[in-house]
Amino acid sequence: MLAVELRFRRVNGENLRTERPVPGGCPSLPGYGFSDKPAAPGWGIERISDAWCELMARLGYRRFGAQGSDWGTSIATSIGQRQPDRVAGIHLIPPLAPPDPATLDDLTGAERAALATLREADEWGSGYSAQQSTRPQTVGYGLVDSPAALCAWIVEKFWSWTDSGGDLHRVITRDELLDNLMLYWLPGTGASSARLYWESLRQVNEWISGSAGAPVTVPTGCSVFPKELQRPSRRWAERRFPNIRYWNEPGKGGHFAAFEQPALFVDEVRSFFRLVR
């Protein structure tokens, strides 16, 4: 998740207008990475989005953009819904939107492929999320006790979800994987990170394959990488995001686009925010 302040910078206690984007920050999710672990239930995506808007306010940012992938997609979307007057735009990798029932008799090839990916993921790739969304603490004990268990749990998803042609280390090195794993191992977040699935996965799954929900009207940029798990077509996405200003489908990259293809990721973010700043 990335928050970028677009119009003002803080200098000597005053907000001064600037013509160039000023970095806002990359907050880590509660229970992940460098953040503290929630001590009680209730830290779902709406509460996190409210906390990050409050964080931006305390840092002195009046207006900002939000960019997210994975859980950050839903949190950036929630920020756009809950604080539309403060948000210049949201950039999503990918937008979460269900198939439009009105199109099911006239699907494009890309839409058929997207539906096939969702069906395969539901049948063969969703066991981890079912466990974490129903009994996160059970698996959590193993993830904070055994480095081998943590490594297998996480690296399997890197192997499955990257655009690597079956050779993970073509796009992410062993050292990079270990760096990522250590952000779970050293602070002991194997259990606390799983709790977000218990809090919010049912809601996110509804956005992926159920109802589009309330429209998100802030300016929206969408980047859909070819090996992403959810790849809604633009016409599906526009039912939920009626103000799409930027849409692109890069030629390579998977679910971990910023990790796999950092240069492409940066280009996507810049291309959208140039349109709304």
**Residue 162's CB: how many other CB atoms inside 10 A?**
23
- Interior CA angle at 196 toward 74 and 119, to 5°? 65
Burial class (CB in 10 A: 0-12, 13-18, 19+), 61: buried
Q: Which of 32, 91, 100, 255 is catalytic?
A: 255
Helix 195-209 and helix 136-145, axial crossing angle in degrees, nearest 10: 120
Whether 61 is catalytic is no
- Does the annotation count 70 as an active-site position? yes
On the CB side of 267, CA atoms within 13 Å amount to 10
Q: Which of 32, 61, 184, 197 is catalytic?
A: 197
Q: Quick check: is 128 catalytic?
A: no
Which helix (H) or strand (E) segment holds residue 66: the answer is strand 64-69
Q: How far apart are CA 93 and CA 72, in angstroms?
A: 9
Tell how strand 64-69 and strand 2-5 pair up: antiparallel
Q: Which of 50, 70, 122, 267 is catalytic?
A: 70
Q: Pick the closest to residue 93 from 217, 213, 262, 275 (CA basis).
A: 262
Catalytically annotated residues:
70, 197, 255
